[in-house]
Amino acid sequence: MDDRALKKVVIDAGHGGEDPGTIANGITEKDYTLKISEYIHNRLDEMGIPNELTRETDVTLDSNSRPKKVQSFYGNGDDVIVVSNHINAGGGDGAEIIYSLRNDDTFSSKIAKELETTGQNVRKYYQRRLPSNPAKDYYYILRDTPNNETVIVEYGFADSTGDDVNQIKNNWENLAEAVTKAIVEYAGGTYIAPSGSNYYTVKSGDSLWSISKKFGVSVDEIKQLNNLSGNLLNIGQNLLIPKKEEVSNTNTYTVQKGDTLYNIAKKFETNVDTLKSINNLTTDSLSIGQILKIPSDVINDNFNTYIVQKGDTLYGIAQKFNTTVDKIKKLNNLTTNNLSIGQSLKISSSDNSNNNLTTYTVQKGDTLYNIANKYNTTVNELKELNNLNSNTLSIGQTLKLPSNENNNIIYTVQSGDTLYSIAQKFGTTVSAISSLNNLTTTVLSVGQKLLLP
């Protein structure tokens, strides 16, 4: 494509040098904004989108020099896109996009949609006015880059109590790729998925059904992941394809600071040689965040395993599995109540019975999708109910299933749903659903929860 037909792009790595930005949970904003910006820059180069970086090293750019640097590349025309990358703070969770008063929300909403495909939630995309002069933008990077289409992308909260810390540390490349896709398509270019990604480009003759068969997933999964309300596709359209979850004959453990192969082997009642063999390790060296396979036969068949999540306490876990703190401590040879994120705990299967809760024990070959399908729920509902941060399952893991005291299925309304389509899907009637939920209208809201007979 002729470069003259493309919008130009300036990528701004927020903060830098003497200004580190937000620092929390091992995240320094200026470092991550530079990594993200360089990633986007390299990907735009690959697809022939003219672009420049405001900084390529750890240098200081103050509020006067940064906007001048932005407009030094391509001027102040409205054919220039400026993306300023940031990491948020303040204890929230999720991405935010701020767009200037001179522009509409088309570009920012496109960024939001693409970020959602990575699994990151988007809090909002919005404009913010300067209190002393509501005719002006609050943020200087928006205010002082006149005519350019400037947006600020906050990828998540470094001090989040949700999953943002994990998203930023371990999923930043996918977040950057999502923003790259939005930029390329908005700039008028042709997006090309990176090699090895799970994007698929629609070809002549393709249908959602044929694509679903090709990748061994369902039409509904593809539609939900890509926010599609209909079945129509366009040639050249890029679809994100759900990755098939697999349950192997091994459990996994995430390496923490201070871990060695010896203490991990001791923790899981195995040996160093076995760990090295099943993980194809040639040395004893480990990296923080590295995922290790743990032999499943080291877990007693009478126990389920639970991986400690951020915010977990022994008391909370005991409540979750209808057991006691003392039982968990005795079973796991714990001498204190201290827990580590990623730590594997044995939970006696006999303690998991709770008459007011429907549960399911993961079997070999199970995925979140087929479990959700079997029990007429959704993958997101299962993940939310069980505090799961990924789609990975372990054989013997106990999952809570959405239900109520009368064992009614709880269904979350999706985009495009109607009472009639839901009734058809679950083999019931509109009147039965309306009666059970005391509905006085057929109007539904996305995210609304319905009890199903």
**170 and 291 share a domain?**
no
**146 and 15 share a domain?**
yes
Give residue 342's pLDDT: 64
Q: What pLDDT, in 10s, does the model give residues 31-62?
A: 999 999 999 999 999 899 999 999 999 999 99
Give residue 1's pLDDT: 41
**30 and 170 share a domain?**
yes
Task: Judge whether 251 lies within some domain.
Answer: yes
This prediction has a pTM of: 0.51
**329 and 260 share a domain?**
no
Q: Which residues in the chain land under pLDDT 70?
A: 1-4, 195-198, 227, 243-251, 269, 289, 296-305, 310, 319, 341-342, 348-359, 374-376, 402-409, 426-427, 453
Task: Judge whether 87 lies within some domain.
Answer: yes
**59 and 156 share a domain?**
yes
In terms of Cβ atoms closer than 10 Å to its own Cβ (0-12, 13-18, 19+), residue 62 is exposed
User: Alpha carbon 221 to chain centroid distance?
Assistant: 16
Residue 252 has which token pair?
């996994």
Q: Minimal CA–CA distance to 397: which of 278, 279, 250? A: 250
d(CA 250, CA 265): 14
Residue 31's domain is classified under what CATH number?
3.40.630.40
**Number of domains the chain contains:** 5
Task: Judge whether 391 lies within some domain.
Answer: no
Task: Judge whether 361 lies within some domain.
Answer: no
**316 and 343 share a domain?**
yes
Range of the domain at 312: 299-355
Give residue 358's pLDDT: 59
Count of CA atoms in the C-beta half-sphere (13 A) of 201: 9
Give residue 355's pLDDT: 39
Q: What pLDDT, in 10s, does the model give residues 90-108?
A: 999 999 999 999 999 999 9
Task: Judge whether 381 lies within some domain.
Answer: no
Domain final position from 340, 355, 370: 355
**153 and 38 share a domain?**
yes
Residue 359 bridge partners (DSSP)? 400
Give residue 251's pLDDT: 67
DSSP of 329-344: HHHTT-SSS---TT-E
Task: Judge whether 383 lies within some domain.
Answer: no
**17 and 107 share a domain?**
yes
Task: Please report, for residues 95, 111, 163, 453, the alpha-carbon distance to residue 121 in angstroms, rounded to integers and kept in the order given.
Answer: 6, 12, 9, 31
Task: Judge whether 390 lies within some domain.
Answer: no
d(CA 4, CA 1): 9
Give residue 74's pLDDT: 97
Residue 435's domain is classified under what CATH number?
3.10.350.10
Task: Judge whether 76 lies within some domain.
Answer: yes
**121 and 31 share a domain?**
yes
> Residues with Cβ < 8 Å from 186, sequence gap 6 or more?
7, 81, 106, 107, 110
**51 and 99 share a domain?**
yes
**141 and 225 share a domain?**
no
Give residue 136's pLDDT: 97
**58 and 128 share a domain?**
yes
In terms of Cβ atoms closer than 10 Å to its own Cβ (0-12, 13-18, 19+), residue 440 is exposed
Residue 236, H or E segment: none
